[in-house]
Amino acid sequence: MGKIIDGKKISEQMKEELKDKVEKLKAQGKKVTLAVVQVGDDPASSVYVNNKKKTCAYIGIGSLSYELSKEAKEEELLSLIEELNGREDVNGILVQLPLPPHMDEQKVIGAISPKKDVDGFHPFNVGALSIGQKGFVSCTPAGIIELLKRSCIEIEGKECVVIGRSNIVGKPMALLLLRENGTVTIAHSKTKNLKEIAKRADILIVAVGKAKMITKEYVKEGAVVIDVGIHRNEQNKLCGDVDYEDVFPICSALTPVPGGVGPMTIAMLMNNCVESVL
Ligand code: GUN
């Protein structure tokens, strides 16, 4: 039988620890402030942004909110970033993605000071991760490592298969597992024999973006399965990339959706904000 990895509970523990750290920083006269920038009014982005701001308030991190219209010019966003880069009272800058199609996402990410890039998306931080130097790490994969560690799941020497190669999840996930001495395979939409490769995994990280695609045919008996996907099923209920009911009986541990990886992403963002003042 599978064991549920309770990301909500683990993220709550982390938030309590961060609350303490923020309080100690305040006692030393150091405030933590995150600037959150949203361009346009995509409803999903608004939900994420509001969640981030609410969590900041809970932990004692100040948040500044900037809302640009979806017609705003790229230069307007770039000059806001430049202003925030220069402000001493702003420690972290987060530009919610996706941006409208007329904006160059990589150019915008590259404009954020790497020291304030709490998302860990700047090429400087991505490069630091790839050569094992310190820097901000993308929150979802960093949250997954934290989930595994706090659930006492060893990574060293394990066969780890990551399905998905995005810049935000798949690639940094693979690098982080490698840093923990896992044996790492990255699979993606062009991978042949995906079932066979996935079935080799002791730790299977799924970020394919297709609802309930991963059935028990992809999973080795006793594997740990981490589900990064989030979708709405036919009944409008949230579900992941993993067919939960099918996989649960054969795996040793599994993250639910909701309540698995999602809450950890926000907790790691908060962690990165606190790190930005240390
Ligand atoms: N859009 C979806 N996930 C993220 C994230 O982690 N950071 C930002 N900035 N935008 C996102």
Between the CA of 121 and the centroid of ligand 1 the distance, in Å, is 9
* Distance from C-alpha of 45 to C-alpha of 227, rounded to nearest angstrom: 20
pLDDT at 2: 56
Q: Choosing from 96, 117, 158, 171, which is the catalytic residue?
A: 96
Atom 2 (ligand 1) nearest CA: 97
Q: Which two tokens stand for residue 34?
A: 């995150």
Q: What confidence tens digit (pLDDT) does each residue in 205-225 have?
A: 999 999 999 999 999 999 999
**Those residues with Cβ within 8 angstroms of residue 162's Cβ, 6 or more apart along the chain or in another chain:** 170, 173, 174, 177, 184, 185, 186, 187, 205, 207
**Those residues with Cβ within 8 angstroms of residue 141's Cβ, 6 or more apart along the chain or in another chain:** 169, 172, 173, 176
Write the CA distances from 125 to 15, 25, 39, 186, 207, integer angstroms.
24, 24, 23, 21, 21
* Residue 94, pLDDT above cutoff 80: yes
Atom 9 (ligand 1) nearest CA: 96
Are the C-beta atoms of residues 53 and 67 closer than 8 Å to each other? no
Give the mean model confidence (pLDDT) for residues 127-148.
97
**By C-alpha distance, which of 191, 103, 180 is closest to 144?**
180
Between the CA of 140 and the centroid of ligand 1 the distance, in Å, is 9
In this prediction the pTM is 0.97
Q: What confidence tens digit (pLDDT) does each residue in 49-74 have?
A: 999 999 999 999 999 999 999 999 99
Q: Which two tokens stand for residue 261?
A: 């990886």
Neighbours of 26 (CB within 10 A): 12
Q: What confidence tens digit (pLDDT) does each residue in 162-185 have?
A: 999 999 999 999 999 999 999 999
DSSP state of 269: H
Q: Is 119 in the pocket of ligand 1 (CB under 6 A)?
A: yes
Using DSSP, state whether 19 is helix, strand or coil. Answer: helix
